[in-house]
């Protein structure tokens, strides 16, 4: 049975587009400070978007933004992607509402047609579709192992061979893993690389660790279905933007960007 996709109303709070949360504490009830240090709201958002395009996100791609919050990164994707290609999931409805109002307003939301689901169980199948890209920025940095595992298991259900799932975590400094059962926020949790790889592999997925800047030194992974052979180095070299890549597209008659998931 098809699941109902919730309609998200825009926030009715006034002047959100000119409030930048300068004096708010991290984790406070301002849409910027709730998701992290407000003075890094711009950079933490744009690094997600840049990385998605390096891994090949085109305007026809579909993106699932896991724990999308106030659209710190999602706002760039919502503008870039063709209408109806952005999907966000979070447990906090007010964050999405405030993000939509501050970044877009009603006319732009109607034009860009992002879709949202309020959910805290990572039930991505509620969207009733697959995705070309998944992003989980600053989620596993607060999540217990069982939630990382649940997220991976659910992600596997909405991925196709071409899908790239990008995510961050904080690396362990002392060789131990967070063993608690709770989501910690604004506190953070840390994991060893092997622990993250094992959780991803247990969900039937491949895990590629790679170096890419993050303002808080979060570490990046790219997750794919097994045996895909993702060329991370080539992606990070900026190949997708190159003349060489354009020539390859001409040769393969894929000049217009496509999507494996429609
Ligand atoms: C640190 S913020 C990151 C938000 C966003 N990814 C970004 O980069 O701005 C963590 C987000 O995860 C959301 N969250 C926490 N637990 C969740 C769960 N179980 N399911 C979905 N979202 C969750 C929070 O509401 C918050 O928006």
CATH number at residue 127: 3.40.50.150
Give a yes or no: residue 255 inside a domain.
no
The parent domain of residue 105 ranges over 18-227
The answer to the question of residue 133 being in a domain is: yes
Q: Which of 10, 45, 41, 47 is nearest to 26 (CA)?
A: 41
Distance 92 CA to ligand 1 centre (A): 8
Specify if 55 maps to a domain. Answer: yes
Over residues 149-208, the pLDDT tens digits come to: 999 999 999 999 999 999 999 999 999 999 999 999 999 999 999 999 999 999 999 999
Residue 130: pLDDT over 60: yes
- 73 C-beta closer than 6 A to ligand 1: yes
Question: Which of 91, 121, 136, 152 most suits a substitution to test ligand 1, by most atoms within 8 Å of the C-beta?
Answer: 91
For residue 137, tell me if it sits in a domain. yes
Is 181 inside a domain boundary?
Answer: yes
Which residue's CA is the nearest one to ligand 1's atom 4?
69
Q: Give the Å distance between the CA of 139 and the centre of ligand 1.
A: 6
In a domain, 77, yes or no: yes
pLDDT band at 16; cut points 50, 70, 90: very high
DSSP string, 11-54: P--SSGGG---TTPPTTSSSTTGGGS-GGGHHHHHHHHHHHHHH
Inside any domain, residue 159: yes
Residue 22: predicted pLDDT: 85
């Amino acid at each position: 049975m098809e699941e109902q996709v919730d309609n998200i109303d825009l926030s009715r709070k006034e002047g959100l587009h000119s409030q930048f949360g300068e004096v708010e504490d991290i984790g406070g009830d301002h849409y910027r400070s709730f998701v992290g240090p407000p003075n890094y709201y711009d950079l933490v958002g744009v690094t997600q978007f840049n990385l998605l395009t390096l891994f090949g996100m085109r305007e026809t791609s579909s993106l699932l933004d896991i724990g999308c919050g106030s659209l710190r990164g999602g706002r760039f994707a919502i503008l870039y992607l063709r209408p109806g290609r952005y999907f966000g999931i979070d447990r906090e409805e007010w964050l999405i509402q405030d993000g939509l109002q501050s970044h877009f307003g009603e006319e732009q939301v109607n034009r860009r047609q992002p879709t949202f689901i309020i959910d805290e169980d990572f039930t991505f199948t509620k969207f009733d579709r697959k995705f070309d890209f998944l992003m989980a920025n600053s989620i596993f940095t607060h999540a217990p192992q069982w939630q990382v595992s649940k997220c991976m298991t659910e992600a596997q259900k909405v991925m196709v061979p071409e899908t790239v799932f990008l995510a961050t975590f904080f690396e362990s400094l002392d060789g131990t893993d967070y063993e608690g059962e709770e989501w910690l926020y604004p506190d953070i949790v840390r994991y060893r690389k092997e622990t993250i790889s094992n959780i991803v592999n247990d969900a039937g997925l491949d895990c590629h660790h790679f170096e890419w800047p993050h303002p808080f030194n979060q570490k990046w992974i790219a997750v794919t279905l097994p045996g895909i052979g993702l060329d991370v180095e080539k992606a990070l070299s900026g190949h997708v933007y190159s003349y060489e890549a354009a020539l390859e597209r001409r040769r393969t008659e894929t000049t217009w960007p496509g999507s494996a998931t429609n």
